[in-house]
Amino acid sequence: MTDARQQRPAWRGSEPSRQADELTGLPGLNLPQIVSEPPIPIQLGVIPESGMVGNVPTTLECEEMLRETGLRATRPRVAVLNAVHEHPHADTGLIIGAVRDDLGDVSPQAVYDGLRALSDAGLVRHIQPPGSVARYESRVGDNHHHIVCRTCGAIADVDCAVGEAPCMTVSDDHGFTIDETEVVHRGLCPECAESNPSDQTAVPRKDPLV
């Protein structure tokens, strides 16, 4: 009896199909050629759940942060905490807008209550540079300072130059036990300096931008 493999015609197909023929024993089976796609590169610093770049926590991480401080992880609190991380130095109006984008119709009072609870728990920091409305930031516990543009009100973080917190020594503490020092530097941000090179003493806006 003749071996069926000896009757098989010479192969003229592609290499993947030839391999499939050898595995199945069916000569001439034209399988579609499989082209492997290159792997999708992973962008460092991007959190897949939120799609934000940087240290913006996920919803689960926000919930865990709340529980670690003894707070209930309610949806408004989670949304407020995420908004503060997502928008550094944001005022309450911006935070309310971000929370409503996330949850829908949320009352301003619910956001105020959330900010108060998060501030008391040490999860966010309340700051209010002179001439500015109240702002909130997620960078806490390091006693950093701020620099404010006197024209548009933009705010940036400034690390302590030297030493440990409060990183300044007063000439007379008047008997106080000092554990924090807040310094606000003023000047012009790069955008304002470029657009108004001669404007060095502009009056701060009443609605400073973030």
Q: Does domain 141-195 have CATH number 3.30.1490.190?
A: yes
pLDDT at 39: 36
pLDDT at 141: 80
The token pair at 108 is 């301003």
pLDDT at 204: 44
Q: Which residue has the higher pLDDT, 58 or 14?
A: 58
With cut-offs at 50, 70 and 90, classify the pLDDT of residue 71. very high
Nearest-angstrom CA–CA distance, 31 and 24: 11
Nearest-angstrom CA–CA distance, 50 and 57: 8
pLDDT at 168: 73
For 151, other C-beta atoms within 10 Å of its C-beta total 23
Nearest-angstrom CA–CA distance, 6 and 168: 91
Q: Write the pLDDT tens digit of every residue in 142-166.
A: 878 888 888 888 888 888 766 666 6
Residue 65, CA atoms < 13 Å, CB-side half-sphere: 22
Which part of the chain is CATH 1.10.10.10?
A: 59-127
Chosen CATH of 59-127 out of 1.10.1330.10, 1.10.10.10, 3.40.50.2000, 3.40.50.300 = 1.10.10.10
With cut-offs at 50, 70 and 90, classify the pLDDT of residue 106. very high
Look at residue 182 and tell me whether its pLDDT is greater than 60: yes
Query: In this structure, are residues 98 and 86 in contact, taking their beta carbons and an 8 Å threshold?
Result: yes
Percent of the chain clearing pLDDT 70 (strictly above): 64
pLDDT at 109: 96
The predicted model scores a pTM of 0.60
Contacts 24+ apart (CB under 8 A), 109-114: 110/76, 111/76, 111/80, 113/76, 114/76, 114/77, 114/79, 114/80, 114/81
pLDDT at 142: 80
Mean pLDDT over 114-141 rounds to: 91
Q: Mean pLDDT check: name the lowest of 27-31, 79-83, 94-98, 128-132.
A: 27-31
- Alpha-carbon dihedral angle through residues 102, 106, 109, 113, given to the nearest 10 degrees: -40
pLDDT at 165: 64
